Amino acid sequence: MTGTNFSCMTIFFGFWKPLCILLALGLGLWTAQNTALSVTFFGFAMILGGYQLVYDMAQSILKRQFVLDYIAFAAMLTAALMGEWLVGSIIALMLSTGEQLEAYGEQKAKGALSHLLSRIPHQVTVRTDTTTTVRMPLDAVEDGMILVIKKGEMIPVDGALLEGQALIDEASVTGEAMPVERQAGGLLRAGTVNVGETILMQASSSFQTSSYAHLVHLVAESQEQKAPLVRLADQYSTAFTGITFLLCLVTYFATGDMVRVLAVLVLATPCPLIIAAPIAFIGGINAAAKKRIIAKHPASLEVLARISDLVVDKTGTITLGVPTLVRTEVLHTLLPAKVGLRIAASLEQFSLHPFAKALLAANGDGAVLLAPTDIHEEIGAGIEGTFNEMRYRVQKTPSSHMAVDLCRVDEKGTLPLLRFHFEDTMKSTSKSTLGHLFHHKVHMHMLTGDKEATAKHVAADVGIPLNIVSETTPEMKRTYLRELKASGHTVGMVGDGINDAPALAEADVSLAFSPEEQTAATDASDIVLLGSGMNMLADAYHIARRTVRVAKQAMLWGIGLSIAGMLGAALGHIPPLYGSLLQESIDVGVILYALRASVAPKRKEV
């Protein structure tokens, strides 16, 4: 079966109820000369289209909720009492079609999120011994099993490469455009794709506990929540229902014409209020997902769109979170700086200290390193080794926690030769992103556990007014947010580490950077940014604002057109039959307009 045929069949079965009502309506018209038979067909159409309405209305009454179903019920009941069976059948068709169009629109808006599920393989190849492999369901994979991953296949669980090298496409998970190489023992993450030759990996998790499954769970969770403007629509429904019934009373007492009253009710049924918001917000989640931004629930987009203050962690959020060599200070002319850097990198290749990676990066990826002997590392003090009978040591700098010294060591003592200065450098998009939010009148706050001087240095590079709080603990961050909220501010928080989790949970809306998908920060946050670039924060803010704008515009345009039509009906210009067709057109237009939110917008730089 082709994709087109499948799509047509899906639409057909999804719209079975409106099609049955349409058939009954047609048969009612065809048998119009036989009144009893015609009314039977029309009555069947009204029952088929209205039974769900009556059930939902009864449920709302039991829950003491005031909803717009009263208008639709009043319209169908009035049509039946007046013997306007054709109009009642069209109202039933209109209600049923609106329900199905809403469901279809929501499904269309969820397209990018459903893609996450479609990528998961149902079966995997497991090696049982050196020569035998079997196919088994993904759910049966357990920790320790050896999987065979062919070229082009998605890696289904987290694990480690068993042997050789692998070329992995991580774009769908981290956003990294170029494939990355993995060596034997290297981490392979679920959701990435093997673009090299066939590899063997050892599973370190089942699919249910993998990072990709956690991502899918976040997406599923976001789809199950009720859109926030639905609650706003429920609030408007009271006023709209009051206006509708008031207009009906005025029309009846002014004209005594129940046909006009019925036309007013028809044009108020169903209201675009209950259609626009869910589709727009699910569309916004879809647009965010296209940019690797996972909103756990629609309400997070609504709150993000109206934040007044944004609290940003420094390390790992504004900055890269890793030290970078920025300056080499020559302390003694005995050793050229370039040679000294090579010696220091050759020593640090055996260390796990963060400065070790920075020195190796500064020396150049792939650069040939020396082979020291008699290596000794003292945790917290430094590492030393011998090169051609000369002893060298990389050690802490007494006067700075962001520098290390390369020293020559002999019987005379320790002679400092070079001093390497490091900084946690700012991300390339931090300045533009924070500037973009500041342009939209969001007050910015930067919290950090670093010293005040370091915080002010970063703030100066950002180039916008920042409220700086340095040397903070996780509890201090949380208290700071609590005080902001108590002052009447709507507060957003952006972080990336476990120390940010308490503050993220305290914020009105929280966002967490997570290239690794699952951390304490992502669990505590409302929105997960699957990457590390600060531009993702600006994208999330822009999508949230646009989603709310589209939802409100769709609702207001729909309400405005409905009220205009109701006034025309009250004045006798629109009969019930034409009113039902006009209202159906309004509802379809509202749905199509709300679907605009599912298109990822282009953000204008400021």
CATH number of the CATH domain containing 392: 3.40.1110.10
Same domain flag for 314 and 434: yes
φ/ψ of 164, rounded to 5, equals 65, -150
User: Which residues sit opposite 453 in a β-bridge?
Assistant: none
- Is residue 207 in some structural domain? yes
CATH classification at residue 155 = 2.70.150.10
Count CB atoms within 10 A of the CB of residue 186.
Answer: 14
Q: Which sign does the torsion angle of CA 86, 92, 96, 102 carry?
A: positive
Question: Do residues 338 and 401 share a domain?
Answer: yes
Are 202 and 298 in a shared domain? no
The more confident residue out of 224 and 398 is 398
Q: 386 and 522: one domain?
A: no
According to DSSP, the residues that pair with 394 across neighbouring strands are 383, 406
489 inside domain: yes
Asked whether the predicted pLDDT for residue 526 surpasses 90, the reply is: no
The phi-psi region of residue 197 (left if phi > 0; otherwise alpha if psi is between -120 and 50; otherwise beta) is beta
For residue 499, being part of any structural domain is answered with: yes
Q: Is 356 a residue whose pLDDT tops 50?
A: yes
What's the confidence (pLDDT) of residue 542?
A: 93
The verdict on 396 and 518 lying in the same domain is no
Average pLDDT, the chain: 81
- Tens digit of pLDDT for each residue in 144-155? 999 999 988 989
In angstroms, the CA 304 to CA 535 distance is 15
pLDDT of residue 499: 59
Confidence of residue 2 (pLDDT cuts 50, 70, 90): very low
Q: What's the 3-state SS for 129-165?
A: CCCCEEEEEHHHCCCCCEEEECCCCECCCCEEECCCE
Does residue 15 lie in a domain region? no
Ranges 165-174, 228-237, 352-361, 493-502: which has the least confidence? 228-237
The reply to whether 436 and 315 lie within a common domain is: yes
Integer Cα distance of 84 and 80 in angstroms: 6
Q: What is the pLDDT of residue 531?
A: 78
Taking the whole predicted model, whether its pTM rises above 0.85 is answered as no
Q: List the domain range (segments joined by +) for residue 478.
A: 292-320+427-543
How many domains in the chain?
Answer: 3
Q: Are residue 444 and residue 385 in the same domain, yes or no?
A: no
Give helix then strand counts, H and E, for the chain.
21, 22
Same domain, 311 and 442: yes
Residues 412, 495 within the same domain? no
52 pLDDT exceeds 60?
A: yes
Q: Is 269 helix (H, G, I), strand (E, B) or coil?
A: coil
Question: Per-residue pLDDT tens for 531-552?
Answer: 778 889 999 999 999 998 998 8
Single out the residue in 165, 185, 219 at which a domain terminates. Answer: 219
Q: How far apart are CA 223 and CA 48, in angstroms?
A: 28
Q: What average pLDDT score do residues 268-287 get?
A: 76
Rg, the chain, Cα only: 32
CA dist 419 and 155 (Å) reads 44
Q: Where are the beta strands (DSSP E) in 427-504?
A: 443-447, 467-469, 491-495
Is residue 330 within a helix (H) or strand (E), and if so which, with residue range?
Answer: strand 319-330
Quote the pLDDT of residue 602. Answer: 66
Band the pLDDT of 424: cuts 50, 70, 90. confident
Residue 384 makes CB contacts below 8 A (sequence gap 6+) with 347, 375, 376, 377, 391, 392, 393, 394, 395, 409
> Which pLDDT value is given to residue 9?
45
> Does 342 reside within a domain?
yes
The CATH number covering residue 526 comes to 3.40.50.1000
Statement to judge: residues 509 and 410 lie in one domain: no
Give the pLDDT of residue 114.
Answer: 56
* C-alpha dist (Å) from residue 295 to 125, 288, 298, 381, 530: 33, 7, 7, 44, 11
Lowest mean pLDDT among 94-108, 162-176, 345-359: 94-108
DSSP-derived letter for residue 532 is S
**Last residue of a domain, which of 366, 393, 425?**
425
d(CA 341, CA 347): 10
Looking at the structure, tell me whether residues 439 and 484 fall in a common domain. yes
Tell me, what DSSP letter sits at residue 403?
E
Does 536 lie in the same domain as 512?
yes
